[in-house]
Every structure is written in structure tokens, then in C-alpha cells.
């Protein structure tokens, strides 16, 4: 894994979120076709850049909801 690859994965996640506003981890995995560790690497990248917010899903305590930071 290198920086360019993780950046590309982050781009996939960002584009999916730009289209849908808020998605769960399961939805993001399905849409982006990323493996779990790839998705979490991308989320870490976007989180470090303050591009996303992550919160618990009030309807499913095992799910996280990811959304883009509104600028």
C-alpha cells in the first residue's frame, strides 16, 4: 500500500459521499467495492484532512454514518 493508492481510495469514497451526502460503512463498501481495510485507510485519509464526519447510526448501534464536512 502506498500514498497514491490510499489517495485514490479516498477519492472513491469522497465521490460516493458527494453523490449521497451520508452513507453507512456497509453502503460505502458496496458502492466503492473497497475491502474493509482499504475503506478504513481511505476514511483515515479523509478524516485527517477534515473532509468527513463520522457518527454512530442511531438506528443500528453496529453501524457508522459517514458524511462530508459542509464548508
Per-residue pLDDT tens over the stretch 42-64: 999 999 999 999 999 999 989 99
- Category of 33 on φ-ψ map: left (φ > 0), alpha (ψ -120 to 50) or beta: left
Q: Quick one: pLDDT at residue 36?
A: 95
pLDDT on residue 70 = 83
pLDDT confidence tier of residue 1, bands split at 50, 70 and 90: confident
Mean pLDDT over 63-68 rounds to 95
> Coil, helix or strand for 21?
coil
Distances (CA, A) of 29 to 37, 55, 66, 70, 71: 10, 17, 12, 22, 25
Cα–Cα distance, 23 to 39 (Å, whole number): 13
Number of H helices, E strands in the chain: 3, 3
Amino acid at each position: 500500500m502506498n500514498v497514491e493508492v490510499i489517495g485514490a481510495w479516498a477519492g472513491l469514497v469522497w465521490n460516493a459521499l458527494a453523490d449521497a451526502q451520508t452513507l453507512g460503512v456497509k453502503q460505502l463498501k458496496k458502492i466503492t467495492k473497497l475491502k474493509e481495510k482499504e475503506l478504513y485507510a481511505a476514511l483515515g485519509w479523509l478524516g485527517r484532512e477534515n473532509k468527513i464526519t463520522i457518527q454512530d447510526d442511531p438506528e443500528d448501534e453496529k453501524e457508522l454514518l459517514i458524511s462530508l464536512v459542509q464548508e
